[in-house]
Chain A
């Protein structure tokens, strides 16, 4: 029995399980194994060990399950050791069942020892997110405890088709040995029927479970078959709730199909995701992605180059070096599968063939047109809830983007983030793929959207700022340019002050910012300054990235200054940008106050939007101010000296 049990899994004490126990355990095992990364591959992909021919439960899922039993950690450790999983290194059916029995024993208060499991025990209880599960688990125990027990090996074999051929023979035995009232017809038969029923349930709940243990899941369905009185009624509910609890407590894999042995079938959501990704690389869904673009994209998935090359070989059916949409979906799907631990197939599976995919996905055209119709919105076929989510996100992003100071640099980051998100969602093993895909997708498209949106937003504000800047400058000394200092003195100097500001770490000062940003004492001015400052920054950043701040400080600021206040520029303007900055800085304080007030109302709006950044800017500006004051003094002295010289020279020339 033991040798037969577990098809080569490690040795363990012989177990006799009751009918209810065996059902329950097999369901649990199926669930754990289902969460694993594929049938033939043991548990998590990182586990280097593959147990050929045996189904194993993912250690992570098993650990979760055990924790759900609410036993103390040491008990769980003991159990794990006892059941032999530590010894063999993985949770095969044998180990798993023993562990479950031990958990039941521990929960009943028995010491955790092999002997404990020899006696009849209630089923182990696991606290799941769905309370139903707990109840369900508890129920069969009472019903099946006293019933006759089926040899463990037989049940186990019945459970796992992947075991040896003995399975088939033994399967026929088990039903007859079932203590339940109406013995099911031959197991394959009833397995098939409830299988489809189960699958319809699965599909209706829009789950995508792992395909590999679909066969293992047949025992899940078994309870429906034997329709004895109470147990018969409960198991179907049990299974249904189990399935629901599946979906609730752990978002099932998304990377596989609803069909057995068909991990290569692309689901609806996956397809949408792939299409979105395709669009991000190539706006026209009906054309193709070039090889290099695809290479860069797929390289981000961090698979090895030979694997990626292999995947490409599989998916580029026409070997033209470019991927059409179905080819892209197939490739992406293969990558996703590979990331989740699936071995790559020898040939392109039929469900990934381009013709199949194309036939199955007639939508892309529709999506395309809808996409065009929305300027920046999601693809039409996005689920409504995604739509809501995305809109929410987009609105939030909108709010975040009014001051897109680092817009230029953030673009790249966003792209990386997007790609990272894209891959993270694919890489997320098993569980939350389904759910995360949506947020990821929505985030992706959102970031996609947001990016252009932010750009447009910022650009309009920049334009606004530019305009505002431009207008005032033309009339000469209108100090109202919002420079409290401003005005009479060179606007150049006005702008210059911001140079030191940037030095201190602000973005390229608003020198560009028209008059508004008075980098000086008036808070209002400074706030306004910050805003236009930051708005301007992107436009300037395009030319002179913030990194250039330090060195060509004088230059970028002086350029706009000159541009804006041409008439203002006088001789002394450009002598020392920094010194000139100091000049207007303090001198302008008194005069343009009234002028400033005029503009302050205009500025209030701008100020309000930039209020957030105020604190930093204020501190910086205060420092700047003091520096500038100093410079102003120096400049004054220079000026005086120069004037003196001039006067001295004058009489000479006159003569």
Chain B
């Protein structure tokens, strides 16, 4: 009972495709019906979105390659400027069909050039009778390029007057793309998230490493599942369980997976270290994770500077006198306090403070006299480069720089000890 049916493509290919894209049959068949037959003009642009790791890229790739449709696949993160992107498309286009032909370096600075060169390329490769697909992965990056890039890609079919369809893949919805001046509306399509049951069932049923690798890897972005798959299959291999018995299989793997999730998933230890551990049968407790090394050793005055910065960031200015002066006079009653000030300052986050306040607090919390030497000032700057403090506002040192303390209370506690 093949779900995928299309008169234009051989049934064997479709069957193979179906096996490659579990749980995505409906989306694929929609796409196929939009694509139509090879020579038919398709919708000018298609916009596919869905959450992270819902198989957008994978489905597109397997669809285009199994059916041997002429296509160009470009990741917009990788080609971060419009020029690189356009040139990359042309290069792939050249090598797409003509294969070994030595391609001269392409120069394409503007979209105008691109349209011209694109027409040439298509004409030279006898692709006129087939629809050419240009897939732009991570299309949200297009918004950061020149303003004309995105609208132009959306109506590339019209601009070039060739049989071409642009497919945009993204994690965000089309509404966030639409430029203010308006543009051609693409056909939008949503890829829903995989459900766990579907996933486990399909993968266990088919037992195909290949599909699983892509799906599971994305489903659990850490490698835990992949690393654990051998364990997962263990009962099947031993004949204790039947492949369909997902519950039993899950039970078997659960404690193992949990341990892995706590360590590898959070990148506490690397996957290869994990593997070695598994191999040796040791406990992950032996290896110290990344977060075990939170303590930072700082020079004496840097510690005090950081503490002073913390105090300056989280205490309101008017309490300074009370906290840091020996003869501060009477403490006024607190019922004058406005209501919003009762919320903890820690919830509000650090506030910026001027350099002079930092130094004043420093002088009062350090026991002996501190000379305002160049070393102290350079320490402040190096704390900024270490991202323990951050500079607020303009970078003009002469203009009374303001800082913020970016470390947490726990960190300060550890330092103050």
Genuine A/B complex? no
Q: Which residues of A contact B (CB under 8 A)?
A: none
